[in-house]
Amino acid sequence: MTALVDTPSQRIDALRQAMTTHGIDAWLVPSSDPHLSEYLPGHWQGREWLTGFTGSVGTLLVTHGFAGLWVDSRYWVQADKELSGSGIKMMKVAQGQQILAPIDWLDANHTGAITLGLDGAVLPLAAHRAFTARLGEGVTIKSDRDLLEEIWLDRPALPQAPVTPHDDTFAGQTRIDRLKQLRQAMDEAGADAHLISTLDDIAWLFNLRGSDVDYNPVFLAHALVDAHHVRLFIDQDKVSAVLREALADDGVFLHDYAEALDALTRLPESTRLLLDPARVTLSLVQALSGQVTLVEAFQPTTLAKACKSEAEIDHIRAAMTRDGAALCRFLCWLEATLERGEAITELTIDARLTAERTREKHFISRSFPTIAGFNANGALPHYRATEAAHSSIKGQGLLLIDSGAQYLDGTTDITRVIPVGEPTSAQRADYTRVLKGMMALSRSRFPEGIEAPRLDAIARTPLWEAGLDYGHGTGHGVGYFLNVHEGPQVISRGAQPTPQTAMREGMITSIEPGLYRPGQWGIRIENLVANRLVTQVDPLTDDAFLDFETLTLCPIDTRLIEPTLLREDEMTWLDDYHRTVFERLSPTLDDETRAWLADKTQPLTL
């Protein structure tokens, strides 16, 4: 391959040529990297490069006579548009099943012996095992080659952003303390070494942050921890001499990023290596000697990271206050600008909101690409306005804004819907039912340890009662100045309720039910909440219960509420929330914004 290929159809043709050269009948491209990240550095955005589909999730399967991209309902409209003319067929799939659905298709459509190729460096070990169990006889999996290296001639290089310490003032724990906690978990599991590849776990464990991945303050690295030392495999040019010395003082020694595979190959045969099959890739495990004993267990840092300390939650409350102030200044400006009839587009929304957040102390970046969708665009859950395709905010309709920020002391994620002009009765009814679902879950009390997916129906019930539903999950975990999407908890009917998804004290989760009318409007209302232990329980039982503290501070637009659909207790909850919003935010606001907030937090019940 000597010339660049410029279109998806040309790139698929080039891939097929490489497949022929290497005797491969089908090639699988997940949306993944060697760290199994959600957001990918450009170097590993091969699925997007091949297809032109810009959504964050999707799995591509290419044979010599077929090319299909499997996406869930969040992306059906987007994928249908972006794949047009490419020769790649959009394949609809239930949420969470993208990785296995292509395997099922291949198994059902192949005849005779075939070879399935994939890059084992970006495939979870657990997924490979699922493939092996799912595929029938006659299918051989070849995982030792990355065909993109042969055809993607202008492939982006690996990122080079510097790594910096996350100050202990914000972190709340030293890396020494966190390593001690991890080694205790290793001892309990009967392991003497532990492999970690997930970037947010590594950033959390070592109190370090970076910017190798857009919107997520993480850096590319693998870590190998034993009883006395840590090997951190990283581009050493990213680490200053001062930071390198501080890490060495804590028993953390740097090695080149590319040396991780070789280090695993050279592990003593007596090693008992702890790893999580869902959080390490096939290639890493294949590098191990057959004599190394695998101790497979849920990754200890993932749960420890998810359960925020009271000190961390205090920091997050402070970040939420500043974020709420920025949102109020933005919303005050937006309403005044719309009233004056000045031109605003979806791109204006993103720029102005980011500018307001940038004014706040400890702001680092957005936590994901802002979704500002007016009317029909709001009906696309993962819509993103671009210079080439965006809408003006004018006339009558609903404006959905889903945005978030990274601060040194917290990560935020919030969705609000703003009426433009006079809302219709149908819009009010839809909005109120979504609000009822959000409030129902926000007010819930539940046993500590319940699997998070089991809570999903609470938010959907007000919609189900009207014969309505939405295609995405209701809530995801949120990191602490880390990834805006964090496990292990996830509130979604599409997720398996496993012990690893149990709700624990200190977890931070989004609550974000929605409703989407294709071609008309979309509604989603989102707050972040923290799990807190309920102090008063029935004296006849020792069972511990949790409830939610709402952390997000921003008014919910009452102009869209249909009061006849709300019960008195629901109105009371909303009034109490708005009272808290005003009390927490008003001292931080200018006079104009404070007056606006006072109006937006007026009680529904008098």
pLDDT digit string, tens, across residues 540-573: 777 899 999 999 999 999 999 999 999 999 999 9
As a whole number of angstroms, the distance between CA 329 and CA 343 comes to 18
**Residue in this structure with the two tokens 């790139």, named with its chain if needed:** 11
Pairing type for strands 272-275 and 293-296 reads parallel
Please report how many Cα atoms fall inside a 13 Å half-sphere around the Cα of residue 225, on the Cβ side.
Answer: 29
Q: Are residues 137 and 43 in the same domain?
A: yes
Give the Cα separation of 69 and 83 in Å (integer).
9
| 5 pLDDT above the threshold of 70 | no
Residue 195 lies in a domain: yes
Question: Which of 230, 209, 231, 228 has its CA nearest to residue 220?
Answer: 209
Instruction: Assess if residue 448 is contained within a domain.
Output: yes
What single DSSP character describes residue 498? Answer: -
Domain membership of residue 70 as a residue range: 8-151
* pTM metric for this prediction: 0.93
Contacts 24+ apart (CB under 8 A), 268-273: 268/292, 271/192, 271/193, 272/190, 272/191, 272/192, 272/193, 273/191, 273/193, 273/194, 273/195
Residues 451 and 502: beta-carbon distance below 8 Å:
yes
Question: What amino acid is encoded at 150 in this protein?
Answer: E
Element (H, E) at 578: helix 568-585
In whole angstroms, what is the distance from residue 358 CA to residue 354 CA?
6
pLDDT of residue 227: 92
Residues 6 or more apart whose Cβ sits within 8 Å of residue 585: 321, 324, 325, 328, 553, 597
Are both 129 and 187 inside the same structural domain?
A: no
pLDDT, one tens digit per residue, over 443-488 is: 999 999 999 999 999 999 999 999 999 999 999 999 999 999 999 9
For the stretch 42-101, pLDDT in tens is 999 999 999 999 988 899 999 999 999 999 888 888 899 899 999 999 999 876 666 788
| pLDDT score, position 1 | 47
The shares of helix, strand and coil residues in the chain, as percent rounded to the nearest 5, are 40, 20, 40
> Is the same domain home to 213 and 285?
yes
Number of domains within the chain: 3
31 occurs within a structural domain: yes
271 and 311 in a single domain? The answer is no
3-state class (DSSP) for residue 19? helix
- Do 28 and 50 meet the contact criterion of CB atoms below 8 Å apart? no
Query: Of 285, 305, 325, which one is at a domain's C-terminal end?
Result: 305
Task: Enter the tokens of residue 39.
Answer: 């957001």
- Please give the pLDDT value at position 78: 87
Q: Are strands 59-63 and 67-71 parallel, antiparallel or unpaired?
A: antiparallel
The CA distance from 121 to 33, in Å, is 7
Give the CATH number for residue 36.
3.40.350.10
